[in-house]
Amino acid sequence: MVYELMVDGKKYPLEMTVEAYLDICELCPEGNFSRLRDINDLPQRERIEISAKMLEALSRGAENSRAVRKPGYQPNPITATQVLALPLEEFFKIYSGMFEIIGKASGKPTVETAQKKRKKKSKGIKLNRAWFLFYGRLLNMDEREIMTTPYMEMCDMISCYAIYNGAEPKASKIGTDDALANVR
pLDDT, tens digit, 9 for 90 and up, residues 79-94: 999 999 999 888 888 8
- Which candidate, 89, 88, 86, places its Cα nearest to that of 56? 86
pLDDT at site 42: 92
How far is the C-alpha of 40 from the C-alpha of 124, rounded, in Å? 27
Report d(CA 19, CA 33) in Å as an integer. 13
Quick check: pTM over 0.95? no
Which of the four pLDDT bands, split at 50, 70 and 90, describes residue 57?
A: very high
Name the percent of the chain lying above pLDDT 70: 80
Q: Where are the alpha helices (DSSP H) in the chain?
A: 18-27, 44-69, 80-84, 88-105, 129-138, 143-148, 151-164, 177-181
